[in-house]
Structure 1
Amino acid sequence: MKTVNASCKQVAVLFLLIFVISGSNFRATANDDNDDPGGVIIDSVIVQNGDIFDMELSENRNWIFSLANKLHINTRKHVIRRELLLDKGDIFSRKLADESERNLRSLPYLWDARIEMIRSADGRNIMSVTTSDRWTLAGGPTFSRSSGQTIYQFGFEEMNLIGNGQRVSFDYYLREFEENYIRASFYERRLFGSRFGLSSSYNGNPEIGSISFGLAKPLFSLNSKFGYSISYTDINRTDKYYSSGYEFARNGYKGRLLGLSAVYRFGTYQNKVSIGFAYNYKDIKISKRLIDPDYSFDFPADSIYSDYLFSINAGNFEYIKARRIDRISRLEDISLGTEAGFSSGFTIDAMTNRRLYRTMSFSCGYSDKFGPNLIFLRFYRAFWYDGGTDYRKMTNFSIRYYNRTISWLTPTVIMLYLEDWRRDGREALYLGENGGLRGYPRYSTEGEKLLRINIENRLFTGIKMLSAEFGITQFFDLGQTWSGGERFEMKENLWSIGVGIRIGTERVSNAEMIRIDLAYAGKIRNWEISFGVGQYL
């Protein structure tokens, strides 16, 4: 218990320090929600829900783009209007207009959004809202390749069902070496036009296996004060355990999870404090225990328990617009600022009403823009303990750095350090193709500690073919896992180097980009090609 108490003191000191730093920027203003108290009153709101392609631009005068516009159902005006934080009769606020633009751009079916005030010929003040759509229907056969395995996918996804903003998907996955499975989902962001969101999903992947339903009222704007959610998940999956890439044990995992959460937030427009509560009920059954006789392993036991968690978070932030950070051409809204959070809770055995353990966590973050440089720092520390017994301790520290000195090149550095100490001795941190090291098999190494560095030079060529834009990535991946009693040794690092192609399909696909990487894994002297969507990290 001494280690936990000492860590608690360190966490408390760090939390207070970050809270003070955050609080130093909490500057309330006389008109925090309206940055233009002498501004004009909005007489009317006009929504112009544009097509995918603007045919007035010479570069878009193509029969393919014209056909895409005709086949696509535009986002309906009422779907756009319900996201606006300003309406007829309000005093126009540039802050709220900018936030409305960000909210609209965050929707997966919109490409861009612009809000401006114009004066009509008869002197009326009109708030003009202009949006452009993305192609939202994806389907047919696709494939990806990772860790030496090719996965074929057949299905469809519509992110904007008949223009109403609903998402529906169905996919069948055919895997080269593992079991095939089905995945389906439905999401309604505004149930019956309300602020409630409804989600449901089915995932037949044996390693994930779940059916879930959720209803939530989120914090839909920076002025929102209260949010809450309820969710239910039925799990039926297979947990696998690896040693140096070899699966030595597995077990069936069936469970029911019920989750309730609520958050209250207050503060000025750009400086917030939030207080939250979460409750989770879990009923877990373990079955089909299989193990290689050459290994020893303590399988998890059946359990029924309830989690109670209380949290407080504080932060200040601002938003900037940028391009060519994690996307190829689409505008990115990036949040910068300082934040800190603290949570504490406990877990109760539902059968005996006995407390199993306590939990405590601390997190802080800092992000800023220095000239052409963007940097993001995140730290998280968590404890599971009871009395004088420590059950688990976890640390997560990450750094992300981007440099935009040259418009066509974005050097990127991502560093991650993890610790996951468990009383049962299980080592659950892995490196491999699925853990940040391209060219290596999945679960290549495991340990209690992990250090990984990824360096990418993202080159934007400016080459376009129809609506697709092409980029090139040069990368270097380096990482190591080790046990708690071992020392970090440079010679034990796994590394890979390679090049990749990035194809920006953001406007005409539900994927931000298509990724093709060719990696050479130096430690095992292996070449590997991998395919996927989105940035690798």
Structure 2
Amino acid sequence: MLSRRAGVSLCVAFACWGAVGAARAQTSGAAPVSKTTGYSRYEKETIVRALAGFGLELDPAPEGKTIEGVDVVRLDVLEDRDPVPEKVLGLSARKILNSMHYESRDFVIRREMLLREGDKYVQVLVDETARNMRRLALQVSLVVIVATKGSAPDRVRLLAITKDIWSLRLSYDVAVTPGGIENLSILPQETNVLGWHHTASTQFRLAPETITLGAGYRVPRFGTSWLGATASTSIIFNRRRGEPEGTSASIGVERPLYSTRTEWAWGADVGYSIGVARRYVNARVATFDSQRTPDVREQIPFEYKSRSYSGSVALTRSFGWALKNNFSVSLNASTAEYNTFAFAPGTSQDAIDDFTARAIPIGESRVYPRLSWSSFTTNFLRTFDLNTLGLQEDFRLGHSLSASFYPVSRSLGSSRDFIGVSASAGYVVAIGDGVAGVTLGAVQELQDGALSDASYSGGFGAATPRTPIGRLVMNASFLSRYRNYLRSRSFLGGDDRLRGYPSNFFFGKDYVVYNIEYRSRPLELLGFQIGGVLFFDSGDAAQGFDLLRAKQSVGVGARLLFPQLNRLVTRLDLAFPLKRGPFPETGIPTPVDPVGFFFSLGQAFSP
């Protein structure tokens, strides 16, 4: 374990290394590297159709040539290759359905281009443009940009091909457990208002004890500027009492680092949340049975009142291109308060103290500046058949380092005086069309000469190269909070990191988790893609590393991708716990069910 002095010295060393790296990056001007692995069959078919439509040919060596024009192909949500009948009752069904969707405007696609007419063709900037557009997950699913032959040997054209996602949509997210629906979120929204990529949304969220209604609006970019804003609000109703029990709201504005060559960024946000925090297990509020009173089953509901407010403003200066060094300064303010409900008559003080210590965080107010530095490379791997099946996805390669320093003082309105430092380091490499990476991190907060909160964390992830039958994907991580004044906790179990066990079943200040999946190559059927998985999960969360006892589960699942509707896969998993318990340390004295079924969006984990 590092000493306090060693931890601070590590952060200072990182900062000094960053200052030297910044100067070197400023003068070197070296370009980043893009590693590509080809296109999926679905994308190859798209390119062939687009080239035929324009009568163009691919340019095999476009680097350095002058761009004489940019052509944009905006594919309909429903094409002739999608599973929609051409005619229904004599009417063009596909045309009618496409007319019910806002198509991205031509200028909205063109404004994302980092290269314009008259510029020299630079492949890494073309790749970065496509990478940025793939982050528009609610507006486009397919993004392919290729170079085509120009009117002369030293000329080239850009062909940008995008496929819109259905914009007038009923987005949803559902978590189904053996005990029933634990979360059902339905978001009626228009994700491409007037074709501008604005999102207007409403929200309905059903939880076992609450119903949440909300609304929001997001503007990724005002016109052709890089300034964006978001705003949202919601009200939470208790299902049993039929009355409000909480509200939340947030608003933010920012000008981000929109490209690897952007030098300045800034942002500001403010928000609040008032409500009740609950731990759900198998779609029910978990109850807590204290191990301090083994002869009594208290069954204390795992819920407490929560109230928080926060705000921040930040400014970032970015240096370099292939090697980035970013320096940020921010002013932050937050306050949080947590309170228990009344305990049942006769509940012993030992059980109350045990529940409070294990379940209720400590609230406080913080007002402080933060100085941060980060360093990383902008080399990327473009691959597919990993998280998004047949759609391209990107992984940043190389090192990543960061450090921050934040003094918190009562003189600014904080609850206590302390000095906080944090540092992290990681490295990612490409393995063919797969990846592997490792991360390490540390946080230390020093109050009155002693550590009040401190933690170490780490992780390893990898995805093997594709084989004719698929690939293996794995991830392992740990967190050790060896000082935990704020009584922070982590939860395991449910639909992602420890499937087969009820959601949030295991909890504590420390955890270790490991996941490995075999993911098959997807099959394309009627315009959508389907893949299969086999998985093994292992992990535990507890009140100390010496109390961790690994639990395991195995299972099978399916992944479906509908590029007309989403970039995220739809996930169905059937999981079997290898140990059913009971596990008294969870506060629940009964065994878990022998099988769990989980239905959600997105992969359970990434490498």
- Asked whether the two chains share a fold, i.e. TM above 0.5, the reply is yes
Equivalent residue for 1:51, pick from 61, 69, 76: 76
2:332 maps to: 280
2:145 maps to: 114
What is the alpha-carbon distance in structure 2 between the residues aligned to residue 149 and residue 422 of structure 1?
37
Structure 2 CA distance for partners of 1:286 and 1:446, relative to 1, 3 Å: closer
Return the letter of the residue paired with 1:342.
Answer: A
Equivalent residue for 2:277, pick from 233, 236, 239: 239
| RMSD of equivalent CA atoms | 3.7
Q: Render the CA deviation track for 1:83-122: whole Å, top value 9, x for unaligned.
A: 1112233333333222222222222212213142532489
Structure 2 CA distance for partners of 1:210 and 1:380, relative to 1, 3 Å: farther
What is the alpha-carbon distance in structure 2 between the residues aligned to residue 87 and residue 437 of structure 1?
48
1:482 maps to: 542
Structure 1 portions without partners, runs of 5+: none
2:161 maps to: 130
Q: Render the CA deviation track for 1:1-22: whole Å, top value 9, x for unaligned.
A: 9942243345666x48996998
- Tell me if structure 1 keeps the 8 A contact 2:456–2:480: yes
Equivalent residue for 1:508, pick from 564, 578, 592: 564
2:304 maps to: 251
TM-score in terms of structure 2 length:
0.77
What is the alpha-carbon distance in structure 2 between the residues aligned to residue 376 and residue 34 of structure 1?
18
What is the alpha-carbon distance in structure 1 between the residues aligned to residue 20 and residue 536 of structure 2?
35
1:453 maps to: 514
- Tell me if structure 1 keeps the 8 A contact 2:262–2:318: yes
Q: Say whether residues 1:74 and 2:126 are aligned partners.
A: no
Return the letter of the residue paired with 1:388.
Answer: G
**Cα displacement (A) at 1:437:** 1.0
What is the alpha-carbon distance in structure 2 between the residues aligned to residue 5 and residue 141 of structure 1?
49
Q: Render the CA deviation track for 1:311-355: whole Å, top value 9, x for unaligned.
A: 111122311211111111111122111111111112223676785
Structure 2 CA distance for partners of 1:192 and 1:319, relative to 1, 3 Å: same
Equivalent residue for 1:526, pick from 594, 600, 604: 594
Q: Render the CA deviation track for 1:197-249: whole Å, top value 9, x for unaligned.
A: 11112244689952100000000111101000010102112234799953545
What is the alpha-carbon distance in structure 2 between the residues aligned to residue 406 and residue 46 of structure 1?
35
What is the alpha-carbon distance in structure 1 between the residues aligned to residue 462 and residue 133 of structure 2?
27
**Cα displacement (A) at 1:382:** 0.6
Q: Render the CA deviation track for 1:430-483: whole Å, top value 9, x for unaligned.
A: 22216621121233222332111111111234151x222111111111112233
- Tell me if structure 1 keeps the 8 A contact 2:264–2:316: yes
What is the alpha-carbon distance in structure 1 between the residues aligned to residue 211 and residue 62 of structure 2?
60
- Tell me if structure 1 keeps the 8 A contact 2:363–2:486: no
- Tell me if structure 2 keeps the 8 A contact 1:136–1:508: no
Q: How does 1:205-216 map to 2 (within 5 A)?
A: 210-216=248-254
**Cα displacement (A) at 1:532:** 0.7
What is the alpha-carbon distance in structure 2 between the residues aligned to residue 32 and residue 2 of structure 1?
37
Structure 2 portions without partners, runs of 5+: 35-60, 88-92, 238-244, 289-299, 581-592
What is the alpha-carbon distance in structure 2 between the residues aligned to residue 238 and residue 403 of structure 1?
43
2:552 maps to: 495
1:195 maps to: 226
Q: Say whether residues 1:366 and 2:407 are aligned partners.
A: no
Q: Say whether residues 1:145 and 2:180 are aligned partners.
A: no
Return the letter of the residue paired with 1:214.
Answer: G
Equivalent residue for 1:174, pick from 206, 214, 222: 206
Structure 2 CA distance for partners of 1:452 and 1:39, relative to 1, 3 Å: closer
Structure 2 CA distance for partners of 1:487 and 1:21, relative to 1, 3 Å: farther
- Tell me if structure 2 keeps the 8 A contact 1:434–1:443: no
What is the alpha-carbon distance in structure 2 between the residues aligned to residue 469 and residue 148 of structure 1?
30
Return the letter of the residue paired with 1:280.
Answer: N
Q: Say whether residues 1:105 and 2:146 are aligned partners.
A: no
- Tell me if structure 1 keeps the 8 A contact 2:145–2:158: no
Return the letter of the residue paired with 1:186.
Answer: Y
Larger strand proportion of the pair: 1
Q: Which segment is superposed worse, 405-414 or 349-358?
A: 349-358
**Cα displacement (A) at 1:260:** 0.6
**Cα displacement (A) at 1:271:** 0.8
Structure 2 CA distance for partners of 1:362 and 1:515, relative to 1, 3 Å: same
Q: Render the CA deviation track for 1:393-449: whole Å, top value 9, x for unaligned.
A: 122211111112414412111101111234448361222216621121233222332
1:217 maps to: 255
Return the letter of the residue paired with 1:156.
Answer: P
Equivalent residue for 2:124, pick from 81, 95, 114: 95
Q: Which segment is superposed worse, 155-164 or 31-40?
A: 31-40
What is the alpha-carbon distance in structure 2 between the residues aligned to residue 420 and residue 329 of structure 1?
39
Return the letter of the residue paired with 2:287.
Answer: Y
Return the letter of the residue paired with 1:321.
Answer: R
What is the alpha-carbon distance in structure 2 between the residues aligned to residue 241 and residue 460 of structure 1?
37
What is the alpha-carbon distance in structure 2 between the residues aligned to residue 257 and residue 101 of structure 1?
34
Return the letter of the residue paired with 2:106.
Answer: K
**Cα displacement (A) at 1:42:** 3.5
What is the alpha-carbon distance in structure 1 between the residues aligned to residue 221 and residue 367 of structure 2?
30
1:332 maps to: 393
What is the alpha-carbon distance in structure 1 between the residues aligned to residue 236 and residue 469 of structure 2?
39
Structure 2 CA distance for partners of 1:173 and 1:266, relative to 1, 3 Å: same
Q: Helix, strand or coil for the counterpart of 1:486?
A: helix
Q: Say whether residues 1:444 and 2:505 are aligned partners.
A: yes
Q: How many residue pairs were aligned?
A: 528
